[in-house]
Amino acid sequence: MLPMPHRTSAVPAPLGAPLGVLTTPSRRGFLKLTAGAGAGLIIGLKLPALTKAHAAAAAGDGTFNPFVRIAPDDTVTVIIKHLDKGQGAATGLATLVAEELDARVDQVKVEYAPANTPVYQNLAFGMMGTGGSTAMANSFMQYREAGAIARAMLKDAAVKQWGVALADLEVKDGKVTHAKSGRSATFGELADAASGLRVPTQVELKKPEDWIYIGKSFPRVDVVNKSHGAPNTYGMDLHLDDMVVAVIQKPPMFGATVAAVDDADAKAVPGVLAVVPLPVGVAVFATSTWPALKGREALKVEWNASGAETRSTDTMLQEWTARAAQPGTVGRKDGDMAKAIADAAQVIEADYTFPYLAHAPMEPLDIAIRFDGEAAEIWTGSQFQTIDQAVAATVLGIPPEKVSINTMWAGGSFGRRAIYNSHYAAEAAMLAKAWGKPQPIKLVYSREDDIKGGYYRPAHAHKVKIALGADGMPTGLYFHAVGQSIFAGTPFESFLVHNGVDNSAVEGFEDMTYAIPNVLVEATMAESKVPVLWWRSVGHSQNAYTMETIIDRAAKAAGKDPVAYRLALLKDDPRKTGVLKKAAEMANWDAGAPAGRYRGVAVHRSFNTSVAEIAEVSKRDDGTFKVEKVWCAVDCGVAVNPDNIKAQMEGGIGYGLGAILRNQITMTDGVVDQGNFDTYEPLRITDMPDIEVFVIASAEPPTGAGEPGTPPIGPAVANAIMAATGEAYTDLPLSKHDLV
């Protein structure tokens, strides 16, 4: 385990924690405002923490604050502190600044922030990082304030230059205008003078009714580039002068180590420059990618498997299922579950198993590094810049501030690039040390490296029991999750592991809002050398499946409509009620499915965003099912960019659907069985349903959109298939049951 990264004074909050967790003493002045965001009351704020950081930057060179720069050519550059891996964070942040600045769409550009934790930290984490669907939630006030501050300074410059009254100035479409005198200036014309002025300590933010971009539309800042081949965008495409390409042969089993290397054949491959054993495997350096891959193919490595994970996943899941039948560590206890079972008219009990899942972003991992012995420069789609920087620095034996990071756009992540131990920055640093020359080195992961490389969504075994009263309504719910902890042993442990219960194992149950009087939620941490990681929606990815399929079974046992049954149980949860009613209305649920079609529903809240999905499936002649249509209603508070939220729901649904249909990582005697997209087949266009998304209008603070679309799709589809077959499916993927 690598050393913990440097922590800043602010307390990292859990990924997906309620906004209230943000209220830390050091940031109270700012965070109180966050809690009231969107209410239209945010006028004349005090911004001590923010303006202090900004004041240092005001230099009269067009830099207004760490987030906004305006050039004489009228370009407004928004500095992006979050990684955009497709979820639209860069567009969202640009939208917030453009809104408060009243900039034109065509003058706004974006640029990734350097690794500078105090200035560019995720306010929900206390470090630079993207994840937990927090990008808009933690930036909503900060980036608006940054835009408003720049706007105020531009007006201030106009007052000084023109000798006019502040109250008579208007800012619109990238211009400051004084109507009485007919004077007008572009932002670019005022920028240098304005950026040297005093930074205001109070700014007035626009009222929601005056918004021109937020909640309306702002074109994606990356769409043109990504529709034309995306040059100079991804780390994988990086070419630097004199660059060396490296690949690493990793052990076939997690925890195995190099015993002996025969590199003669590898070194004979033209283009191979060197073969070097590292603590994590065997590195092959080459002039370019193909010789590196060929050289690695020619390596003969003997591995020491003592201490490695050598079990098969079937064995592990059997062990964990047996463990789930025993009591676990309590994460939530309401009432008396034992009594609820004893008094129940009926008890439904089920064992569920969920496989390991690879994230498989389209761009496999890559990272480039140049190290001259004193300082290092890194290029990668960095999702946890603070950790990437700290880990590289530790391996190189230099201070973190000697490691600069060029954040590249990322070809997907789904959690994979947010790595608590930044193993890939460590590997890059090991390569740089081993190479020993100040040439840039690009470490490339092949698809096989990605699929076989671990850092999976943890496999889990669940035991669930639901007690029903004489009226068919639930009186008790028991849930026990057995699987590896994601957070134990990571920098997030103290915030996300409570009394031995990893929050990710129980989320969705621990915060369950169905009105069930007796609830017992337990978890047991299983041990394995398989590295595990958050996967789009983290624990919700499997827990929503168990929750929403068992509720459907309860509704069926009660002879009640699944939507009406849920609505009765959600009487104290207006936001879940709202999305569920809306989805039912969109699907015309009460009219029932057309002939030959079957429907299922699920509603779930993750990352403070409520989503209801209704799936409609058809049965093919061979007995398999096709998901034809999904209706989705989402409540994520203020919708900063409604079209992007729709895109995230569409994508989140597709991502979850591919997984439950046929994705699984299995191991035989510790060796991963899958290796590429032939054995870990992604969702195809032929699998994709038609999707309708409705974004609920809301004045509540914005919450996540990147992940919450994923959890409900699995259970919605399983419930639809259950409506057709009468069978419950408790071990995933569905391809195990010849259903797809």
How far, in Å, CA of 213 to CA of 194, rounded? 24
Q: Of 62 and 291, which has the nearer Cβ to other proteins?
A: 291
Our finding on whether 229 is near other proteins (CB under 8 A) is yes
- CA gyration radius for the chain? 27
What minimum distance in Å lies between the beta carbon of 222 and other proteins? Answer: 7
| Distance separating alpha carbons of residues 487 and 485, to the nearest angstrom | 6
In the complex, the smallest distance separating the C-beta of residue 381 from other proteins, rounded to whole angstroms, is 9
Q: Does residue 647 belong to the site contacting other proteins (CB under 8 A)?
A: yes
Q: Residues 399, 402, 406, 410: what is their CA dihedral angle, to the nearest 10 degrees?
A: -20
**Segment (H or E) for 497:** strand 497-498
- The residue from 257, 289, 312, 725 that contacts other proteins (CB under 8 A) is 289
Q: Which of 16, 637, 651, 704 binds other proteins (CB under 8 A)?
A: 651
Residue 242 in contact with other proteins, rule: CB under 8 A: no
Q: Which is nearer to other proteins, 276 or 293 (CB)?
A: 293
Q: How far is the CB of 39 from other proteins (least distance, A)?
A: 30
Q: Which stretch binds other proteins (CB under 8 A): 15-23, 120-128, 222-230, 348-356?
A: 222-230
User: Which position among 25, 231, 559, 726 is part of the footprint of other proteins (CB under 8 A)?
Assistant: 231
Choosing from 54, 69, 81, 85, the residue that interacts with other proteins (CB under 8 A) is 85
First-last CA distance in the chain? 40
Under the criterion CB under 8 A, does residue 241 sit at the interface with other proteins? no
Q: Please state the three-class secondary structure of 206-268 as a single string.
A: CCHHHCCCCCCCCCCCCHHHHCCCCCCCEHHHCCCCCCEEEEEECCCECCCEEEEEECHHHHC
The secondary structure of residue 50, as a DSSP letter, is H
Among 163, 684, 726, 738, binds other proteins (CB under 8 A): 684
Task: Tell me which residue of 448, 441, 415, 412 sits closest to 427, measured CA to CA.
Answer: 441
The piece of 219-227, 370-378, 418-426, 505-513 that touches other proteins (CB under 8 A) is: 219-227
Q: How far is CA 243 from the centre of its chain?
A: 31
Closest CB to other proteins among 1 and 228?
Answer: 228
Best CA proximity match to 213, nearest among 122, 132, 95, 109:
95
Nearest to 455, CA basis, from 407, 502, 420: 420
Span from 38-46, 136-144, 356-364, 543-551 in contact with other proteins (CB under 8 A): 356-364
Q: Is 215 in the site for other proteins (CB under 8 A)?
A: no
Stretch in the footprint of other proteins (CB under 8 A) among 100-108, 140-148, 259-267, 671-679:
671-679
Q: Which pair of tokens denotes residue 371?
A: 């190290």
Closer of 195 and 663 to other proteins (Cβ): 663
Exactly one of 184, 682, 736, 737 binds other proteins (CB under 8 A); that residue is 682
Contact indicator for 657, 717 with CB cutoff of 8 Å? yes
Nearest to 146 by CA among 53, 224, 277, 34: 53
**Would you count residue 92 as binding other proteins (CB under 8 A)?**
no
Tell me how far, at minimum, the Cβ of 710 lies from other proteins, in Å.
10
3-state secondary structure of 138: helix
Q: What angle do CA 40, 142, 401 make, to 5 degrees?
A: 170
Site string for other proteins, 399-438 (x = CB under 8 A): ----------xxxxxx------------------------
Tokens encoding 692: 């309708």
Q: How far is the CB of 194 from other proteins (least distance, A)?
A: 33
Taken as a whole, the chain contains a residue count of 740
Structure tokens at 68: 């906004």
Give every CB contact of residue 501 below 8 A, 6+ residues apart in sequence.
329, 330, 331, 510, 522, 523
Return the number of other C-beta atoms located less than 10 Å from residue 574's C-beta. Answer: 10
User: What's the min distance (Å) between Cβ of 682 and other proteins?
Assistant: 4
Asked if residue 195 lies in contact with residue 57, where contact means CB atoms within 8 angstroms, the answer is no
Stretch that binds other proteins, among 31-39, 287-295, 433-441, 502-510 (CB under 8 A): 287-295
Distance CA 401, CA 375 (A): 9
User: What are the residues whose beta carbons fall under 8 Å from the beta carbon of 108, sequence distance 6 or more?
Assistant: 76, 78, 94, 97, 98, 221
Is residue 130 within the footprint of other proteins (CB under 8 A)?
Answer: no
* The binder of other proteins chosen from 239, 300, 333, 571 (CB under 8 A): 239
With binding defined as CB under 8 A, does residue 230 bind other proteins?
yes
Token output for 145:
């304030």
Query: Quick one: residue 499, left, alpha or beta (phi over 0 = left, psi -120 to 50 = alpha)?
Result: left
658 contributes a contact to other proteins by CB under 8 A = yes
CB 248 within 8 A of CB 278: yes
Work out whether 87 is an interface residue with other proteins (CB under 8 A). yes
Q: Which is nearer to other proteins, 157 or 360 (CB)?
A: 360
Rule CB under 8 A: is residue 65 a binding residue for other proteins? no
Size of the site for other proteins (CB under 8 A): 66
CB of 223 to other proteins, least distance (A): 5
CA distances from 448 to 265, 444, 673 (A): 21, 11, 11
Q: Is the peptide bond before 702 cis (omega within 30 degrees of 0)?
A: no
8 is a site residue for other proteins (CB under 8 A): no
Q: Report if residue 361 touches other proteins, rule: CB under 8 A.
A: yes
Find, among 182, 195, 183, the residue nearest to 72 by Cα: 195
Which range binds other proteins by CB under 8 A, 190-198, 282-290, 571-579, 715-723? 282-290
Q: Which stretch binds other proteins (CB under 8 A): 83-91, 108-116, 315-323, 324-332?
A: 83-91
Smallest gap from Cβ 561 to other proteins, in A, equals 28
236 binds other proteins per the rule CB under 8 A: yes
Identity of the residue, 605 or 646, whose beta carbon is nearer to other proteins in the bound complex? 646
Stretch that binds other proteins, among 172-180, 192-200, 208-216, 685-693 (CB under 8 A): 685-693
- Of 112 and 479, which has the nearer Cβ to other proteins? 112
Q: Which residues sit at the interface with other proteins, rule CB under 8 A? A: 85-88, 219-220, 222-231, 233-234, 236-237, 239, 245, 270-271, 288-291, 293-294, 360-364, 409-414, 444, 446-447, 643-644, 647, 650-651, 653-655, 657-658, 676-678, 681-686, 688, 690-691
